[in-house]
Structures are given as structure tokens and as C-alpha cells.
Amino acid sequence: MRAAIAATFIAALALAACAPDAPEAPAAAAPAGLVPAERAEKVALGLAHATAADLYAALKQRANGGAPLSLDDMPDWTGLWQRVGPPFFDPDQPRGVLTSAKLKPEPLAELTRRRELSAQGIEYDPISDCGPPGHPRWLAIPFLREFIVTPGQTYLFSETVNNMRRVYTDGRDHPSAADAYPLAYGDSIGFWSDHTLVIHTSQVTAGIYHRNDPQYSEQLETVEVWRKTDPTTVQVDVWVYDPVMLEEPWFVQQTYKQVPNEDGYLRVGYWYCGENPNNAVEKTDEGTSQFSDFTFTDRDNK
């Protein structure tokens, strides 16, 4: 058997040595120009389109429909990643600013009220009771992430409550309106242009962008443009459209840095939120949080 393997190996080497010139790979669709480089222009790009679906269609047209990934030429997004920035949906939001989103009056008043209550210690977060953050909040939560790229589907994973977004890049469309209903992570379809992934997400459940951020409605839709900008950085341009809550599309940029893991010791395990009894949290009548079947006593501070 070993002789057969050796003979096969030598023959393959010999054939490779006299191989004709490989045909040049077809030029990949250049991502340069898919989206502008400057933030102000990206904001303007969002404003130039009435809906997320319009922006997605425009980007797809600009990329000539995109090009399916081939196993011969896959982007390397392996490894473990973590988000960079403060716990706000917009990492570039200046300190002291309520939000960088252009909110409609009602959600603006609601955010103001929530922030005032929060300052008094009155706060409830749906993930306190082990619910999923949902999308687009998924983009802003902490802890480890993996981005698993396959030709027909990209899996965007965050270890918090094991939430996995599935982005279909095999040409399928969203479910028809008759079959669609709100989902924590919505329904995501996308296309590749070179090694840039463009995603359109719809069908989300209503939620909050982060604890101290605005609410969003079920009408929210997003367009994301993902690319690896250097060996340890993945950047995502995000345009959020939500006609119920936003006066205009909200552009933010998220950054994920690869976590050093040379010895391979860092591994993502199953996140069982309910394992910690402190996670059984209920919302009280006044809107704050209370541990289930658990009452603090004055000894708890000792």
C-alpha cells in the first residue's frame, strides 16, 4: 500500500511539474466602490435609498449580481472574534449624547424616559431572562464570536445564548410575505462581491439596540456590508431602516477583532443561560428587574 501511495505521489508531482500554464482566474468583482470609504458618504448612501431593500438592490446591481463563493477562493474568517467599542449600538457615538440615531418624537421621548429611569436604578432588559438579543442588537453584544463562511451560507455566531444568524448566499430569496413572520434574528439573504459579504435582513421581532439605546419596531430592516480589512479585523457597515422609529436610516460601523488563541485553548462552549439561578429575572410592575423566587436581605451586602 505504501509503495502505491509513493508511486501515486511521485506521478502527481511529475505531472504537476510539466503542467501547462493555469488559465488566469477570472477577475473578481472589485469591492472597491461598492460602498464609499468616508462615513459621511456612507450616511448619504443610506439617505439616497428609501428602504433597506432598495439599498440592497442597488449594491447588488453595482456588484453585477455578486459572484458565488468557490471553495478554491474562500475568505479566511476563521478564529474567535470580539466586538470593539462601548456598549452602544453606534460605537462612534460621542460621550454624553443620548443617541446618534435620528429618532421620531415618540421613540425619542421613550428613550429619554428609559434613560432617566435607568439613572434611578429602574431597568429591565429582556436578555436578563435569557431571551435572545435579536438582530440588530446581535451586532453590539459582547463575548466571543465566530464567522463561519461556506459557499452557500455564512453562519454568524455569538456565544451569548448560542445565537446563530444564518445568511443564505445561495441565491434564495426571502420567504414570501404570506409565509413571513417576526423572528429574533429575522431572515437574512446575501451575496458576495470578491470577499465582501452584503446582507439584507428583514422579518425581525421588535427590540432594543442596547440597554441604553433606542427601541426598534418589527418594520426594521438592515443592510450590512462585511469585510475583513486586515488579518485581525472584520468591519461591518450597517444601515438600519425603521420607518416607525427612525426619521432617517441610521448608519453605524461595527468592528470585530480576532482574539489571540495560538495554543488553541480558547474554545466556545455551550451557553446555558439558565444554569445561573441569578438569570431567572422577571420584570416588575414598575418596570425594573427582580430575581425570580429570590429576595435580597440586608445580609446580601455582607
Partner 1 sequence: MSASTRRRSFYAPLFRIGVAVLGTLAAAASFAAIQLPTEKAALIALGEQHRTAWDLYKDFERQANGGQRLNPARLPDWTGIYSRSGVLFNWDQDQGRNRMPTAKLTPEYEKRLVTKLDNIEKGIEFDNLSNCAPPGHPRWMTEPFLRDFVVTPDQTYLINEMVNDIRRIYTDGREHIPAADSYPLWNGDSIGFWDGGKLVIHTNSLRSGQYQRTQPEYSEQVETVEVWEKVDDKTLVAQVWVYDPPSLAQPWYTKHTYLKLSNEDKSLRIRYWDCGENQNNTVIQTENGSSQFRDFTFTDKDN
Binding residues vs partner 1 (CB under 8 A): 1, 4-5, 8-9, 11-12, 15-16, 19-21, 23, 71-72, 74, 78, 129-132, 148, 150, 152-153, 155, 157, 161-164, 166, 168, 170, 172, 175, 179, 183-185, 187, 264-265, 267-270, 272, 274-275
Specify the amino acid at residue 75. P
- Closest approach, Cβ 274 to partner 1, in A, equals 5
Between 246 and 281, CB nearer to partner 1: 281
Read off φ and ψ for residue 275, nearest 5 degrees. Answer: -65, -30
Separation of alpha carbons 265 and 62, rounded Å: 42
Are the CB atoms for 205 and 183 separated by under 8 Å? yes
Specify the amino acid at residue 161. V
- Closest approach, Cβ 102 to partner 1, in A, equals 29
- Closest approach, Cβ 240 to partner 1, in A, equals 19
Separation of alpha carbons 189 and 166, rounded Å: 8
Long-range residue pairs from 165-169, CB within 8 A, at least 24 positions apart, any chain? 165/135, 165/138, 167/197, 167/199, 169/68, 169/69, 169/197
- Closest approach, Cβ 154 to partner 1, in A, equals 10
Between 20 and 121, CB nearer to partner 1: 20
In degrees, to the nearest 5, what angle opens at C-alpha 138 toward C-alphas 180 and 188? Answer: 35
- Closest approach, Cβ 71 to partner 1, in A, equals 5
Between 11 and 47, CB nearer to partner 1: 11
Between 55 and 69, CB nearer to partner 1: 69
Between 270 and 296, CB nearer to partner 1: 270
Between 11 and 84, CB nearer to partner 1: 11
- Closest approach, Cβ 299 to partner 1, in A, equals 25
Is residue 136 reached through a cis peptide bond, with omega within 30 degrees of 0 on the bond before it?
yes
- Closest approach, Cβ 288 to partner 1, in A, equals 19
Between 57 and 268, CB nearer to partner 1: 268
- Closest approach, Cβ 239 to partner 1, in A, equals 23
Between 29 and 156, CB nearer to partner 1: 156
Separation of alpha carbons 237 and 203, rounded Å: 20
